[in-house]
Amino acid sequence: MWDTVLLIVITFLATLLIKKLSNTDSKHGNHDLKIGVYYACCLLEAAVVWPFFLLRPKNVRNCTVAAQIIKHVTKVIEVKWHLRNGKVLAEDRGAVIVSNHQSSIDILGMFNIWHVMDKVAAVARKELFYIWPFGLSAYLAGVVFIDRSNPKDAYRQLQVTSEVMIKNKTKLWLFPEGTRNKDFTKLLPFKKGAFNIAVAAQVPVLPVVYSPYYFINTRKNIFNKGHVIIQCLDPVPTTGMTMEDVPELIRRVRGAMETAYQELSKEVLSALPADYPLAVQN
């Protein structure tokens, strides 16, 4: 019951704020406003749900509950998510999910498909832990925080997490580009961490590709209505691989994701109506 009430309050307040502050005369949506509403809703929900997470601390299924609530913010910021080949994510097994990283709303896309993945732990930079109550809520929901400035400590943390991943058949979700990609025409080089973990644990890599955010331009403060395809590619097994195979594994996975990204870009752009106010990125 409490989650329904919270959802109604969040949606009502967010919708009211956008209608009140957005410039209705402009053909472009206000990026800062929509992102601000998204962040505010995340903080509000975190403040309400973290005490309930204490009943089963660090259980990844806590995040499933939170995702079912916060995912509805996507209606307020006017983004539609379409999952393809979701059966890959639904399999009950340990795995390492790798996806491209374009914006903070990538996480909102994750929230919209979290119920499909079921047991999954996201990996985030440790700085996010200190944004309370969000950091506390995320920690209690099983999010793994790593120190990107200290690769050895980060890798050790992921090694410990991978043991839990294998034992509990939990998936790890990482962004191998390491930072948000503002290019929107190609993927950034991949870092090795996610692939090292997959090979060490002998679990498959599950590549996931978000189509380009053609409707967002942070520099021009534009955030229009948009449609995002989340494409799951075929699993890449690591059974029998060693650390010497990691560079070739990265090349193979990145190549497949790059090809899918380019194909999705053509698809979503060609489907736009002629009068769509395209946000020219960068």
Could you tell me the pLDDT band of residue 254, with boundaries at 50, 70 and 90? very high
Q: What is the rounded average pLDDT of the residues 47-54? A: 89
The continuous run of DSSP H or E covering 208 comes out as strand 205-210
Instruction: Give the HSE-up count for residue 252: Cα atoms under 13 Å, Cβ half-sphere.
Output: 14
Q: Which two tokens stand for residue 237?
A: 């097994």
Omega before 133 within 30 of 0, i.e. cis: yes
CATH class label, 2-270: alpha beta
In contact, 95 and 235? CB cutoff 8 Å: yes
- Domain parsing of the chain, residue ranges: 2-270
Could you tell me the pLDDT band of residue 230, with boundaries at 50, 70 and 90? very high
Does the pLDDT at position 32 exceed 90?
A: no
User: What's the whole-model pTM score?
Assistant: 0.84
In contact, 61 and 117? CB cutoff 8 Å: no
The candidate with the shortest Cα–Cα distance to 75, out of 13, 8, 15, 4, is 15
In contact, 114 and 63? CB cutoff 8 Å: yes
Q: What is the pLDDT of residues 145-169, one digit of tens each?
A: 877 777 676 667 666 667 767 777 8
Neighbours of 258 (CB within 10 A): 14
